[in-house]
């Protein structure tokens, strides 16, 4: 029995894997069969009737999402019957749809708008008043429901069932009074609830976080990776005016499929809180040149005794940043290397996307240390060496659990971080570095995928990439690190870490203007 099936769609032959549905097969040919309820990551229900196509030798139109391909099948998507079916279905769907586009958050990325414009585009023939339903229904902590806008595709219901395993949404009533509502005694509060907003083809479910903040078509999308936990869900940063406005999941069958958790979506807020905008030397703002010179000078005082210098790597920073600092640690012969990171949150782990380790790059730092022959310990081991044994510390990242700030005050701390928190608040020299959304780099998730992040917007103030700051620091201390681009740091790293030797640096991508990208649906 062959594993592939060949069929004809609109006169073009296409060969697909057995079990594929007609809609997916048509997509391969670039034929856009309109659909509302179909989502590639969800079970198929064929209830919107928008994707009807005619299949030869079959007297009735078939929903292409549910119709599995068969050998020799002949499908027509542009014949009179299926075109008319699409148009009439759209007309039907719009009968009770409110005239909300100007105030709707989904406008500009709305599947209903797109499909109507592409497949119908006719005038209204309805002169009866629309059926009105509830407009602002608070269905959960993150989501507002507009029942009028809902076209009853059930994607959100299936998303809740599928991503979180919790049945929190349901349909109630019948006919043109049918509404989407929460299941009895339930709230839409599962940790994956915001996926329902993404899959909603209209503006029925909107995120409180994004509602009325920014017009969807004015945003630009840059691919990146969520830094919220060790899963490393692939995301798109939607940004404009040099800041992120929301994070949405990007499809990756190996990591997160089409989904991500709510907590991860909110991580962009931190990018704007308490950021360190410029270098600080002894509590006073300084130029980069002065800060680097001072740091280099103070480091060189201890260089003769490398074991007096401690290095703190960070599981919250990129592979490049950590590799740069680890290389520097090797070069100065640092006696003690530690790995900082947020403490695990066991309650998070649910066997789905959320895991206990809330650091994005734990696996990466470990791999780098191993490859460079560095024995690294967690930061809470560090306290006992302070302040006598270790006289100077180079700290990456602002999260250093278990470190006593009063003891830190007595040693020479050179801290590189994004936020003016933790060791950066009291460091002798604090150097601002770019956060994950602001620089090119890679992080390694808990399954060992080395994933690329792209810079969506520039870092605040005079902050520079972490690896670059470390390179400047190393040069000031008289060591040869001479990378000028993240690509070079990455190349050196892939040579050093055997498991990564085949990785290639992915070219920088230009932000995609959502306005001309068509509907995201």
Q: Which is nearer to other proteins, 215 or 366 (CB)?
A: 215
Taking CB under 8 A as the binding criterion, the range among 58-66, 105-113, 443-451, 479-487 that sits at the site for other proteins is 105-113
Under rule CB under 8 A, which residues in 199-228 are in contact with other proteins? 217
Closest contact distance (angstroms) between CB of 108 and other proteins is: 6
One residue of 107, 293, 372, 491 binding other proteins per CB under 8 A: 107
Taking CB under 8 A as the binding criterion, the range among 11-19, 91-99, 191-199, 357-365 that sits at the site for other proteins is 91-99
Given a contact cutoff of 8 angstroms between Cβ atoms, the answer to whether 453 and 443 are in contact is yes
Given a contact cutoff of 8 angstroms between Cβ atoms, the answer to whether 321 and 315 are in contact is no
Contact partners, residue 195, CB within 8 Å, separation at least 6: 159, 163, 249, 258, 259, 260
Name beta bridge partners: 6. 15
CA dihedral over 379, 381, 384, 387, signed as positive or negative: negative
Contact partners, residue 464, CB within 8 Å, separation at least 6: 288, 432, 433, 434
One residue of 70, 84, 122, 504 binding other proteins per CB under 8 A: 122
Q: Which is nearer to other proteins, 118 or 161 (CB)?
A: 118
Helix axes 111-119, 80-94, angle to 10 degrees: 140
Q: Which two tokens stand for residue 207?
A: 């995120």
Alpha-carbon gap, residue 224 to 227, rounded angstroms: 9
Taking CB under 8 A as the binding criterion, the range among 111-119, 154-162, 235-243, 501-509 that sits at the site for other proteins is 111-119
Residue spans of beta strands (DSSP E) within 409-497: 412-417, 429-432, 441-444, 450-453
Site string for other proteins, 152-171 (x = CB under 8 A): --------------------
Q: Which is nearer to other proteins, 121 or 241 (CB)?
A: 121
Instruction: Supply the DSSP string of 56-118, one letter for each residue.
Output: TT-SS-EETTT-B--TT-EEESSSHHHHHHHHHHHHHHHTT--S-GGG-TTTTS-HHHHHHHH
Asked if residue 97 binds other proteins (CB under 8 A), the reply is: yes
Asked if residue 129 binds other proteins (CB under 8 A), the reply is: no
Alpha-carbon gap, residue 250 to 262, rounded angstroms: 14
Alpha-carbon gap, residue 468 to 439, rounded angstroms: 11
Under rule CB under 8 A, which residues in 490-519 are in contact with other proteins? 515-516, 518
Asked if residue 102 binds other proteins (CB under 8 A), the reply is: yes
Q: Which is nearer to other proteins, 85 or 497 (CB)?
A: 85
Asked if residue 29 binds other proteins (CB under 8 A), the reply is: no
Asked if residue 121 binds other proteins (CB under 8 A), the reply is: yes
How many residues touch other proteins under the rule CB under 8 A: the total is 24
Q: Phi/psi at 126 (nearest 5 deg)?
A: -95, 130
Q: Which is nearer to other proteins, 129 or 373 (CB)?
A: 129
Taking CB under 8 A as the binding criterion, the range among 62-70, 106-114, 224-232, 249-257 that sits at the site for other proteins is 106-114
One residue of 9, 39, 85, 108 binding other proteins per CB under 8 A: 108
Binding site for other proteins (CB under 8 A): 91, 94, 97-99, 101-102, 107-108, 112-113, 116-118, 120-124, 126, 217, 515-516, 518
């Amino acid at each position: 029995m062959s594993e592939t099936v060949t069929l004809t769609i609109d006169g073009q032959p296409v060969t697909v894997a057995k079990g594929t549905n007609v809609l997916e097969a048509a997509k391969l040919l670039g034929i856009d069969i309109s659909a509302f309820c179909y989502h590639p990551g969800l079970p198929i229900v064929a209830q919107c009737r928008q994707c009807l196509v005619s299949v030869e030798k079959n007297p009735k139109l078939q929903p292409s999402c549910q119709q599995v391909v068969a050998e020799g099948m002949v499908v027509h998507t542009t014949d009179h019957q299926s075109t008319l079916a699409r148009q009439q279905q759209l007309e039907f769907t719009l009968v009770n749809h409110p005239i909300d586009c100007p105030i709707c958050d989904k406008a500009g990325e709305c599947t209903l708008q797109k499909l109507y414009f592409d497949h119908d585009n006719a005038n209204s023939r309805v002169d009866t008043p629309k059926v009105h339903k509830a407009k602002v229904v608070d269905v959960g902590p993150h989501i507002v429901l507009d029942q009028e806008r809902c076209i009853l595709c059930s994607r959100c219901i299936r998303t809740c069932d599928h991503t979180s395993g919790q049945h929190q949404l349901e349909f109630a009533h019948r006919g043109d009074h049918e509404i989407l509502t929460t299941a009895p005694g339930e709230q839409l509060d599962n940790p994956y609830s915001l996926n329902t907003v993404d899959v909603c083809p209209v503006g029925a479910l909107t995120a409180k976080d994004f509602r009325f903040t920014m017009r969807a078509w004015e945003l630009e999308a840059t691919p990146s990776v969520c830094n919220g936990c060790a899963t490393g869900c692939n995301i798109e940063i939607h940004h404009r005016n040099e800041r992120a406005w929301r994070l949405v999941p990007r499809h990756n069958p190996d990591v997160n499929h089409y989904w991500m958790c709510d907590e991860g979506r909110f991580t962009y807020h931190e990018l704007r809180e308490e950021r360190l905008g410029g270098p600080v030397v002894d509590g006073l703002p300084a130029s980069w040149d002065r800060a680097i010179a001072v740091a280099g000078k103070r480091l060189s005082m201890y260089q003769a005794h490398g074991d007096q210098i401690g290095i703190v790597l960070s599981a919250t920073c990129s592979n490049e940043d950590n590799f740069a600092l680890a290389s520097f640690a090797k070069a100065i012969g640092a006696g003690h290397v530690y790995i900082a990171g947020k403490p695990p949150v066991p309650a998070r782990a649910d066997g789905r996307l959320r895991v206990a380790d809330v650091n994005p790059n734990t696996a990466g730092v470990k791999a780098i240390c191993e490859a460079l022959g560095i024995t690294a310990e967690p930061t809470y081991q560090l306290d006992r060496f302070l302040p006598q044994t270790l006289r100077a510390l180079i700290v990456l990242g602002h999260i250093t659990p278990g470190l006593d700030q009063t003891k830190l005050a007595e040693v020479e701390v050179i801290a590189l971080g994004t936020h003016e928190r933790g060791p950066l608040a009291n460091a002798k020299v604090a150097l601002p570095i770019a956060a994950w959304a602001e620089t090119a780099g890679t992080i390694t998730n808990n399954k060992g995928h080395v994933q690329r992040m792209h810079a969506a917007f520039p870092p605040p103030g005079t902050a520079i990439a972490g690896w670059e700051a470390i390179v400047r620091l190393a040069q000031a201390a008289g060591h040869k690190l001479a990378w000028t681009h993240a690509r070079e740091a990455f190349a050196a790293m892939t040579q050093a870490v055997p498991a990564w030797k085949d990785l290639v640096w992915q070219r920088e991508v230009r932000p995609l203007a959502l306005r001309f990208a068509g509907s995201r649906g």
